[in-house]
Structure 1
Amino acid sequence: MEARTIDQVEAEAMARLVPLVEACLGEKPLYEEVEEVMIWLISRYIARSALELRPRTFTADDFGAAFDDSVRRASGRRRGGSTELLTKLKHKLRAAEIPEPEAEAQHDAMLAYRRTYRASVGTRRRAYDDLADQINAICTLTMAKRRAGRLDAGSAAYLTSHAAQEACPPAGSSLWYG
């Protein structure tokens, strides 16, 4: 036995997780995704189990299910490459009375954005972060107007959000239009 620091243990765990996450995703994972998988495994499965009165044993199948769940939560993708539904987006579009085919197209566009975001680095990543901040601010303002009774829920709020997004030039406008 030899003494190790937390950083050494974490680095070894990350090194072991990378090929597993890569095999699950079918592509190289981002560092943040592997880190998130590790956090989910530790906090959700190991720590909770340690708090129980009786120790819980994990079979290989149990660990596989916990691992798949952690990868799905961290990356939005399931084993085999299928994607996790964007539940919040789905509920928001349903509340905005968006027809199902249009909602599916928006879901696909959001997944394409996620893939592009995941692959971006440096200046491009910062531009995507700025864009996300702008859109979040617009949606928050629209929500506040709706709650204050200055805007009807549903389609009216949806239209207001889109109009506000069109009116402000996005950060890194080349990102917005490709």
Structure 2
Amino acid sequence: MKLTVQKLKYLLEDIQNCSIKQIKVIDNNFELLIKTLTLQSLTLNTTVNHRNNFHKYPISTEVKYNDIDFSNNSNKTRRRPTTNTLTIVSPMVGTFYRAASPEEPPFIKVLDKVHFNQIVCIIEAMKLMNEVEAELSGQVIDILVEDGEFVDCGQPLMIVKPTTIL
């Protein structure tokens, strides 16, 4: 039997569609060994040192001008922002945390001053802790989400009154 490309294609298709785990084909000076992987044979290393991974990935926050009306939100007392405020939004989908751990103080509080590139919160996504940094300097007027709350990409997180308007 001469092994052609066409026969090899048929062989590979048949192996994909059945439960064969391994096949070995020897033809004159040609030898082919094919092994299929199963999900049970795969192992994943899920140990991650979150603190060391923070700066390996670029993290950015989007800053937008806004004029937010909180009149429909009667169950929470919020400071009404002026027209000279900016919003820090979530750069990704995940869980919002105000501090690095429950035992540590929050990165920022309402009325705190923030500086450019200062860490303002953490978004946990796929078991990775991603620092969100301020892209402006100013004063935090309001924090719009609760600690441990799920946030969407682009969702407003904080309102900041910048020290200078861009």
TM-score (structure 1 length as normaliser): 0.20
Q: Which has the higher contact order (CA 8 A, sep 6+)?
A: 2
Considering fraction of residues, name the structure with more strand: 2
Considering fraction of residues, name the structure with more helix: 1
TM-score (structure 2 length as normaliser): 0.21
